[in-house]
Structure 1
Amino acid sequence: MVLGGPTTATAAARYYPVAPDVRLNVRGGPGTGYPIVRVLPEGAQVSILCQQPGTTVSGYYGTSNIWDNIGNGQYISDAYVYTGSDGYVASRCA
């Protein structure tokens, strides 16, 4: 038996499309006051690790204060991500 190896219970990552024709700013925290750390290209899809409230943004899919964490120190406004929901689709960030 190997300890610390991958488990068979690992959930498959779910990817969500970013709004069409949008180059989306990725910020260092859950709000527009955080610096831009990179820009997602048009047609990007993202895996949401967790979500948390932040600055309210009006975007392609409405107005939301939910921010999606897509990597370490990388947040995008949920108003630009098609999740099929106006609420949380992932756990809250710790």
Structure 2
Amino acid sequence: MSVEHAAEAEGANEEVSATASTMLRYYSVAPGVRLNVRSGPGTGYRIVRVLPEGSKVAIFCQTPGTWVSGPYGTSNIWDNIDDGEYVSDAYVNTGTDGYVASRCI
């Protein structure tokens, strides 16, 4: 690939990345909650970090897992918020009891 074509391809990739990031939506974690972030979609997975009160999360995909009761109902939907990081959807204000993102693969 010539230098000129490589630069064009790089510019195209930047546009896709910019477009994808502008479409990303953030959701609020329930008020007053410090939310455990787990390594997988369930309460049996290890806690990798804790989100502070007032956090907002981007949901990249969702998957079924352990049933959890929280401020937004009882749900088995788990939200993937980063590589290897999941939170229970019962603690995230998505405005619905259903899926708001594609299923994780």
TM-score by length of 1: 0.95
1:10 to 19, 22, 40: 19
Amino acid at match of 1:53: P
Measure the CA separation in 1 of the matches of 2:62 and 2:15. Answer: 25
Measure the CA separation in 1 of the matches of 2:75 and 2:69. Answer: 7
Find runs of 4+ consecutive structure 1 residues off by over 6 angstroms. none
Matches within 5 A, 1:1-94: 2-4=8-10, 5-7=13-15, 10-11=19-20, 12=22, 13-94=24-105
Higher relative contact order structure (alpha carbons within 8 Å, sequence separation ≥ 6): 1
The unaligned stretches of length 5 or more in structure 1 are: none
Structure showing greater Rg:
2
Q: How many residues align?
A: 94
Q: CA deviation at 1:6?
A: 1.2
Q: CA deviation at 1:7?
A: 2.0
Amino acid at match of 1:63: T
Amino acid at match of 1:3: A
TM-score by length of 2: 0.85
When the two chains are superposed, the root-mean-square deviation of aligned CA atoms in Å is 1.3
Q: Write the deviation string for residues 28-51 of structure 1: whole angstroms up to 9, x where unpaired.
A: 000000000000000000000000
Q: CA deviation at 1:53?
A: 0.1
Q: Write the deviation string for residues 48-68 of structure 1: whole angstroms up to 9, x where unpaired.
A: 000000000000100000000
Measure the CA separation in 2 of the matches of 1:32 and 1:68. Answer: 13
